[in-house]
Amino acid sequence: MSTVLDEIQAPAGAGRVITDPATGDEVGRVPIATTADLDAAIAAARAAQPSWAQLGDARRVDLLNAAADALQEHAEELAVLLSREQGKPLNGPNARFEVGACEAWLRASTAPDVSPQVLVDDGQIRAEIHYRPLGVVGAIGPWNWPMMISIWQIAPNLRMGNTVVVKPSEFTPLSVLALVSVLNTVLPPDVLIAVPGGRDVGEAMAAHPGIDKIMFTGSIPTGKAIIRSSADTVKRVTMELGGNDAGIVLDDADPAAIAQDLFWGAFINTGQTCAALKRLYVPDSLYDAVCEELTKVAAATPMGVGLSEENLLGPVQNRKQYDIVASLVEQAKDSGARVLLGGDPDPQAVGNFYPTTLVADIDNDNPLVAQEQFGPALPIIRYTNLQQAIAWANGLEVGLGASVWSPSPQRAREVAMQLNAGTVWVNEHGAIDPRVPFGGAKGSGYGVEFGREGLLECAQAVSVKGPAGSFA
């Protein structure tokens, strides 16, 4: 019996080998697409777009919900492939969670009302706003949540009548190809096409005159390059770029009560999440207690090969990112910071396993704090003055997310409103919701995803205005 992987991978001896970051074993062989393949995909998507738009919103909604049903049917198979390719464990907020989120986000994208609205109707003037498709959208995704973030890009665009060409990360292409293959068992031909190419394909997509909008999730340098490449064709862009999210614990918090949520806010997907908690500010009065409680949780959370059901943390997905995490922790150790747990990887270990690492008594300007580590390491910074902590939290040129931890709703809200980030969570971190718009401030990008606002960013707003009675 064939699997989704059998259907999408290159034949033996062809393509490029993808290996499991936990074991080094071969997962499969990804076909190597070229810029000519991209041209063909864009042409096919452009030819398919008018009929897709003409189906109407109700029929597209039905098809998207049917696609969600197909994902549900293949959920375990997709989760196993994702775990092997990306490294994340099956359990916890990881592979099975991600595949379930794909289904949930697909369904959520069908819920908001995007029908035309009457803006003015005063007896003299009538004005309406309508939303029409943009055309063909290019979606460039990352390696940390490859399936889920692809759905964030695919679902709203298909709902709004666009067709989509997906360029997955070179590190995790098989899971995205499998996702698209399952969706395409329901969708009409050429409405959704995946092109598993390298950097040259991504660069060509950003500049391509046949692409009407780019959606990108990834690093700030790559995002800037895409923006520059897109300028000549004045295509729309949505950028969800890097973050270095701060969390501020207030002095009335209960360390034991918040430790579990603090830990998973930082270490979800082994810390490889744009909107994870990456800098934790704790007041003097609670500092030792928070460090102690976090260390207990971290020490009790198993790390290992993702297909082993007991594990909740996995490897760093690729060696390049592993080396970044290791270097930042070494710099912290060299500066005199205190390692509470971890920081001592086994150089003989198989796989990209970097131990869960907590670093205390560290300066705010230390590279482990000032740079996005994007891995299983969390610096814990002591503060004596709340306004100083707020200033430190706002002091970087990124602002994807932030969080405040306090049992007092009023105090938490007051601090939240002083933090310069696209999302500020209270007593949680990184808890995204398909109904709630999500996007970055400052260098973390622009445009929003999710909810009605995210859907409308995938459409052209058209105002229709005239004397009352001239149109109905």
Q: How is the beta sheet containing 377-383 ordered, strand by strand? A: 338-341, 357-360, 377-383, 277-283, 245-249, 401-405, 423-426
Asked if 421 and 399 count as a contact pair (C-beta separation under 8 A), the reply is: yes
Residue closest to 221 by CA, chosen among 202, 245, 196, 195: 202
Q: Around Cβ 419, how many Cβ atoms within 10 Å?
A: 21
* Residue 408 CA: distances (Å) to CA of 18, 383, 386: 49, 19, 15
Task: Transcribe 454-471 into DSSP letters.
Answer: HHHTTEEEEEEEEETTS-
Residue 423 CB-density burial (10 A; 0-12 exposed, 13-18 middle, 19+ buried): buried
Pairwise CA distance, residues 266 & 276, whole Å:
5
Q: Which residues pair with 405 in a beta bridge?
A: 249
DSSP state of 243: -
Asked if 32 and 11 count as a contact pair (C-beta separation under 8 A), the reply is: no
Q: Around Cβ 304, how many Cβ atoms within 10 Å?
A: 16
| CA-angle at 217, arms to 267 and 442, nearest 5° | 85
* Residue 31 CA: distances (Å) to CA of 37, 79, 138, 310, 445: 11, 21, 19, 33, 31
Catalytic residues: 240, 274
Asked if 226 and 140 count as a contact pair (C-beta separation under 8 A), the reply is: yes
